[in-house]
């Protein structure tokens, strides 16, 4: 697989304008929506504040970050070029926010079943560098026809790198 660098036409913006942001496009949000019936664990008796999961995910390698850029056709050199990342005020390349989104999607599907996830929406608040492990948590925030889960990703030092929510079906699919 050949990874080519994107042209330097991508701007990283002023370092002062990036307070608590992970990328030049400030707090970019990634939202995933799915449809269909659900399966997995029955969640009829959930209560607000209950922990659905808390998991550690290992940090991505530089190669994994570069491969993710290629796979998602992300042209931003901030993910593959240390020099460009330094021009943007970071000490090295940063991980893509959608990598965190993918970790949450996987954990939610493992815990609840593939068809239960209706909405997954994250806002990225701080950069994640290569090899930085994250603690991902999901807690029940609202109980209605569906459940709303508060999601948080944090580094080992407690820095929150992403916050958001998921909406999931409370009941498994009926066959």
In 3-state terms, what secondary structure has residue 172?
coil
Q: What are phi and psi for residue 36, nearest 5 degrees?
A: 115, 175
Range of the domain at 32: 21-60+95-169
Q: Is the pLDDT of residue 44 over 70?
A: no
Inter-helix orientation angle 62-71/97-112, to 10°: 90
Pairwise pLDDT comparison (11 vs 47), residue with the higher score: 47
**pLDDT exceeding 90 applies to what percent of the chain?**
65
Count of structural domains, the chain? 1
- Domain for residue 81, yes or no? no
Global pTM? Answer: 0.75
Residue 12: inside a domain: no
CATH number, domain of 126, equals 3.10.129.10
- For residue 6, tell me if it sits in a domain: no
pLDDT tens-digit readout, 68-85 = 999 999 989 999 999 999
Which of 6-15, 17-26, 137-146 is modeled with the greatest confidence?
A: 137-146
Residue 141 lies in a domain: yes
For residue 5, being part of any structural domain is answered with: no
Span 157-163, average pLDDT:
98
Q: What tokens does 148 get?
A: 């709303």
Residue 1, in any domain of the structure: no
- Domain contains 73: no
CA 172 to chain centre: 25
pLDDT in the model for residue 60: 95
Segment (H or E) for 109? helix 97-112
């Amino acid at each position: 697989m050949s990874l080519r660098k994107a042209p330097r036409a991508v701007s990283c913006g002023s370092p002062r304008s990036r307070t608590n942001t992970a990328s030049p496009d400030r707090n970019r949000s990634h939202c995933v929506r799915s449809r269909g019936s659900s399966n997995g664990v029955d969640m009829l008796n959930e209560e607000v504040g209950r922990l659905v999961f808390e998991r550690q995910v290992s940090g991505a390698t530089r190669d994994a970050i570069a491969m993710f850029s290629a796979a998602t056709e992300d042209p931003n050199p901030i993910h593959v070029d240390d020099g460009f990342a330094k021009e943007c005020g970071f000490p090295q390349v940063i991980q893509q926010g959608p990598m965190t989104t993918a970790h949450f999607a996987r954990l939610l599907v493992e815990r609840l079943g593939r068809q239960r996830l209706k909405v997954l929406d994250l806002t990225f608040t701080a950069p994640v560098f290569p090899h930085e492990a994250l603690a991902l948590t999901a807690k029940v925030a609202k109980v209605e026809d569906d459940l709303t889960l508060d999601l948080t990703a944090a580094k080992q030092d407690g820095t929150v790198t992403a916050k958001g929510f998921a909406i999931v079906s409370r009941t498994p699919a009926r066959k």
